[in-house]
Amino acid sequence: MKMVMQGMKTRLSRALIVCLLTQTVLAQRKFSLARDARIRFAKAFRSMRTSGNRISQEETLVFPGLLKKEALEAGNPLATYAAMLDLEPQYRKSKIFGGIYPEIRFNFEEFLGFPLAGVQAMSLPMYRRKTPSVETPIPKSFKPESALNVIEREARKTRLVVFGEEHHLPQTRSLYESLLRVLWRQGYRYLAAETFTDEVMRPDFRSPDYQSGYYLYDPVFASAVRVAKDMGYKLIAYDTKERGPSGDASFRDRTQAENIKARTFDLDPGAKVFVIAGRGHASEETAQDGWTPMASVLKRLAGINPLTVYAPTMSQRLTSEEEDPLYRFATSRRLVRRPTIFVSRDEGRFLGSGSFDAYIFWPRINIENGRPDWMVQALGRSRAQIPPQLRSGHGMRIVQAFREGDRATAIPVDQVVIYEPNDRKVLMLHAGRFWLRTLDSDSNVIAEAHLSVP
């Protein structure tokens, strides 16, 4: 367990750099604030250069997620992504940005609908793990059950559900819409998410855009937030941009927990709260080195024993050596046909760890028409053909689908990158009416159309 928590903290340190920089920088509306964030970032990495080095091309590079910022905030993430690709040789050589560039690039590929970008990201050095190429049997007393059904049942026993997602795997967000619906029926009325900016708490907030939170750039996450908003959930932002005192590794988590409590349980003592946290922030246990994850602090402050579920571990990787031996065993025996939690019927326990109540096991991903099958199986989406006029043109283009009535600055319901008119990719949409458009990397609108999905 000590090694697990130490590895978790290493990944969280990297994630903290990515998240805080993008949340702080991309969400800023004024250039001067963005410039200041850029300066702070450069100073943080100045020790990586020797004192004799002169700053040359480093001065011309900005944080990758800031490229084409105006176009991004106007609704075109392809502009930022294309600019990254153009400058990739410089970023990879950069002493400041070389280490973080691949992660930001994968982030944008995930947002743009590349079906295995997240799986590839999990092979980056800071996330990659190697285990013996063996399978560890699931204990015989544990049987597979629908993760949705288990969470629905167990959520009745508490007033706090904490979901630890994997930021790089949109598949781990595919349960959100269904979870929001079943939890609503049990009286849950608050949705708190680590990625939210304060904008989501404004009375006039209607739909996620590029100011609402970095990981909401993912249309799967954004769609879940729209569902929550339409149902009547109160959205709670709880992360902090403050770094805290030097040496206080728990400052961020402690502040997160205090914010959740102040914005939910302190105002509504009978509140039922669904929290979406990043990775190990969802841990209920204090690490051996004293690090206190958010959920462990919130558990103490609120006096509530939460249901904690952990999504990252039991999921597909590029190679079997990178996968958990339990996951290899379960999937090779076709025990994971849907998001699954293994339950010991004799003891009433779940297959989890000392830090989380239950692991969620995710089905392996199959690709059809350039899209992952979990969008059909878990999200209930239908494959919608892209109208011919939206396929016209050549080169890298983005096809976006918005709810009828939404602005172009909103995060779309779905989006996909195409390259040629005969590209056979499809849009993945739920029933409803949509307006569609195709953009190139220069934000030229190639075509628009309207579509109804029965």
pLDDT tens-digit series, residues 407-421:
999 999 999 999 999
Across all residues in the chain, what is the average pLDDT? 89
* Integer Cα distance of 128 and 106 in angstroms: 14
Question: Does residue 27 surpass a pLDDT of 90?
Answer: no
Asked if 350 contacts 151 with a C-beta cutoff of 8 angstroms, the reply is no
Mean pLDDT for 113-124 is 97
Question: Does residue 11 surpass a pLDDT of 60?
Answer: no
Asked if 164 contacts 280 with a C-beta cutoff of 8 angstroms, the reply is yes
Tell me the pairing of strands 427-429 and 432-440.
unpaired
Give the residue with greater pLDDT, 28 vs 167. 167
Asked if 170 contacts 209 with a C-beta cutoff of 8 angstroms, the reply is no
Asked if 283 contacts 163 with a C-beta cutoff of 8 angstroms, the reply is no
Q: How far apart are the first and last CA of the chain?
A: 49
Alpha helices in 87-188 (DSSP H): 88-93, 101-111, 117-121, 147-155, 176-185
* Integer Cα distance of 204 and 6 in angstroms: 42
Q: Which tens digits make up the pLDDT trace of 289-300?
A: 889 999 999 999
Mean pLDDT for 326-339 is 97
* Integer Cα distance of 445 and 392 in angstroms: 11
pLDDT given for residue 164 in this prediction: 97
pLDDT given for residue 43 in this prediction: 41
Asked if 417 contacts 395 with a C-beta cutoff of 8 angstroms, the reply is no
Residue 202 CB-density burial (10 A; 0-12 exposed, 13-18 middle, 19+ buried): exposed
Question: Does residue 246 surpass a pLDDT of 90?
Answer: no
Mean pLDDT for 72-80 is 98
Helix (H/G/I), strand (E/B), else coil: 236: strand
Q: Which amino acid is at 355?
A: S
* Integer Cα distance of 304 and 399 in angstroms: 45
pLDDT given for residue 131 in this prediction: 78
What number of helices (H) and strands (E) belong to the chain?
A: 15, 17
pLDDT given for residue 354 in this prediction: 84
Structure tokens at 136: 């560890």
Structure tokens at 334: 């076709």
* Integer Cα distance of 249 and 257 in angstroms: 14
| 371 to 105, 275, 375, 417, 433: CA distances (angstroms) | 19, 28, 8, 11, 21
Model confidence at 446, pLDDT cuts 50, 70, 90, reads very high
Q: Give all domains of the chain, ordered by start, each with its CATH number.
A: 2-121 (no CATH), 142-359 (3.40.50), 381-453 (2.60.40)
Mean pLDDT for 67-92 is 97
Mean pLDDT for 243-259 is 93
pLDDT given for residue 58 in this prediction: 57
Asked if 341 contacts 361 with a C-beta cutoff of 8 angstroms, the reply is yes
Q: Which tens digits make up the pLDDT trace of 136-165?
A: 999 999 999 999 999 999 999 999 999 999
Cα of 267 vs its chain's centroid, Å: 28
Other CB atoms closer than 10 Å to residue 246's CB: what's the count? Answer: 6
| 445 to 70, 355, 402: CA distances (angstroms) | 16, 49, 15
pLDDT given for residue 226 in this prediction: 98
Question: Does residue 46 surpass a pLDDT of 60?
Answer: no
